[in-house]
Amino acid sequence: MKKREILTKNEVIEGFREHFKVAPGFLVRTPGRVNLMGDHTDYNGGFVLPMTIDKAVWMGVRQRGDGVVRIYSVDYEGECRFDVHGELKKDQNTWFEYIKGCAWALLQKNFPLSGFDAVLMGDVPQGSGLSSSAALEVTSLLVFAELGGFELSATDIARLGQEVENQWLGLGSKLESKFGVTDQLICAAGQADKALLIDCNDLEYRPLDLPEGTVAAVLDTAAHHSVASAVYNERQEQCQAACKILGVSSLRNATQEMLDAGKKNMPDAVFRRVRHILSENLRTRAAAAALREKTPDVFGKLMDESHFSLQYDFEVSCFELDTITSIARGHSACLGARMTGKGLGGSAVALLYTEADDFTDYVSKHYRQQTGRFPNITLCRATEGGRVEKLQGKI
């Protein structure tokens, strides 16, 4: 795949022109996201606090008169096509299946779909836990809605995206995990310079101003442990087992008193998993309060505590994530740092004062020395969630 640094609207328009020899009718841009607080809480009906980033997935689109969807990916240098009026079949798991899966999910609900030509471009780093796939799903759903003349709320988009992940992409997959809905929700509903507090119980969300004078840094460890998916599934099973023992339908409904009383009936590992979920939900709400109260130092401290809970109680961190967060905390501009997402590799996130000129060099140098790996560090600003931009007033 070609590496891309900055992507502009004009590049997307040019990309479309180059491939299709005409101008696109409209553009859709959807940012990636990073989770600032609340991990492994989403599939337990808990709270998460993500923000969008300034890197995005883009499509330049032109409507066709038939049902053919023809998409050229500039980054993968490949074109794929299918017909929304024909039978949709799942092929291999490639980027293209996310788009086809969106058509499938909409057709299941009888939305009218139309064919289109599109170029797909993006600068969300892939495999770094920044939700490039959720951004692609949101982009695709917005394209279909724009052409079909129907509206989808951010919550509709999130639920459709979850169906794509769990039902279309999960088809024939050995993985039994059910992915949450928050990635698609933040990519669709995110706002400039704000984080979203999402209640995964009912998908209600509230935008909160990010602290002035701070910036979020995504610290990609460049480490990926192959056990990550198996561990993700195991954690879901352990949480479900805990629900049975505690007599609740979801850990959202469990309390500290229930956990204390149930401790003797559960393996120590299951006890610690629940302790993480309960404490992480409290921390996530406290972090939201810290945003409202404009106390970024409190926010940072909660990030550190969250990391330790994920490390010791939920046991989804790893040497590289512990190392990079510990180095980040050693820099004077860092308010707090934690792993983010599934864990066992992938990325961490740190909250920094904006005047942290040497932070990237400092963390890169020490991380390289201690692990032998080259991290990828991105400073992020929150940008608007998925949007359609018409170019000529007429598609």
Which string of DSSP letters, residue by residue, matches 181-192? SHHHHHHHH--T
39 contributes a contact to ligand GLA by CB under 6 A = yes
Provide the H-helix boundaries in the chain.
9-20, 95-108, 132-148, 154-163, 182-189, 228-246, 256-262, 268-292, 296-308, 319-329, 359-371
Q: Contacting ligand GLA (CB under 6 A), which of 40, 285, 331, 366?
A: 40
Give which of 137, 136, 128, 129 is closest to 157, Cα–Cα. Answer: 137
135: nearest Cα among 7, 254, 273, 278: 7
Q: Shortest gap between Cβ of 337 and ligand GLA (angstroms)?
A: 16
Q: Which of 60, 125, 341, 375 binds ligand GLA (CB under 6 A)?
A: 341
- Tell the smallest beta-carbon distance from residue 317 to ligand GLA (Å): 12
Q: In this chain, which of 115, 180, 300, 375 binds ligand GLA, going by CB under 6 A? A: 180
Which of 42, 117, 183, 313 is catalytic? The answer is 183
Q: Verify binding: residue 144, ligand GLA, rule CB under 6 A.
A: no
Q: How far is the CB of 233 from ligand GLA (least distance, A)?
A: 11
User: Can residue 50 be called a binding residue for ligand GLA (CB under 6 A)?
Assistant: no
Residues 61 and 70: their CA atoms lie apart, in Å, by 10
Which amino acid, residue 200?
Answer: C
List, as one string, the DSSP characters of 237-282. HHHHHHHHHHT-SSGGG--HHHHHHHGGGS-HHHHHHHHHHHHHHH
The token pair that represents 385 in the structure block: 């969630």
Which residue, 15 or 341, is less far from ligand GLA as judged by CB? 341
Number of residues that bind ligand GLA (CB under 6 A): 10
What span, in angstroms and rounded, lies between the C-alpha atoms of 391 and 360?
Answer: 38
Work out how close the CB of 232 gets to ligand GLA at its nearest, in angstroms, rounded to a whole number. Answer: 6
Using the rule CB under 6 A, give the single segment among 64-72, 180-188, 274-282, 318-326 that binds ligand GLA.
Answer: 180-188
On the CB side of 74, CA atoms within 13 Å amount to 23
Q: Residue 218 corresponds to which tokens in the numbers above?
A: 């995504």
Stretch that binds ligand GLA, among 8-16, 66-74, 177-185, 201-209 (CB under 6 A): 177-185
Q: Which positions from 181 through 200 interact with ligand GLA, judged by CB under 6 A?
A: 182-183
Per CB under 6 A, does 125 bind ligand GLA?
no
For ligand GLA, the binding residue among 179, 205, 314, 359 (CB under 6 A) is 179
Q: Which residue, 25 or 46, is less far from ligand GLA as judged by CB? A: 46
Stretch that binds ligand GLA, among 178-186, 201-209, 274-282, 287-295 (CB under 6 A): 178-186
| 121 vs 349 by CB, closer to ligand GLA | 349
Cβ-contact 335, 213 below 8 angstroms: no
The interface region with ligand GLA, picked from 96-104, 174-182, 215-223, 371-379 by CB under 6 A, is: 174-182
Q: Does residue 342 belong to the site contacting ligand GLA (CB under 6 A)?
A: yes
Of the ranges 36-44, 268-276, 296-304, 328-336, which one interacts with ligand GLA (CB under 6 A)? 36-44
Please give the radius of gyration of the chain, using alpha carbons only, rounded to the nearest integer: 21
Q: Closest Cα to residue 136, out of 39, 33, 217, 225? A: 33
Encoding tokens for residue 267? Answer: 């393996």
Counting every residue, how long is the chain?
395
Told to judge if 183 belongs to the known catalytic residues of this protein, a careful annotator would answer yes
**Minimum separation from the CB atom of position 39 to ligand GLA (A):** 4
Sign of CA dihedral 295, 298, 304, 307: negative
| Minimum CB distance to ligand GLA, residue 70 (Å) | 29
43 binds ligand GLA (CB under 6 A): yes
> Closest distance between ligand GLA and the C-beta of residue 227, in Å?
14
Burial level of 265, CB count in 10 A (0-12/13-18/19+)? exposed
Question: Cβ distance 112 to 151 under 8 Å?
Answer: no
Q: Closest CB to ligand GLA among 43 and 95?
A: 43
The verdict on 146 binding ligand GLA (CB under 6 A) reads no
* Residues of the shown chain interacting with ligand GLA in the complex, contacts defined by CB under 6 A: 39-40, 42-43, 179-180, 182-183, 341-342
By annotation, the residues acting in catalysis are 183
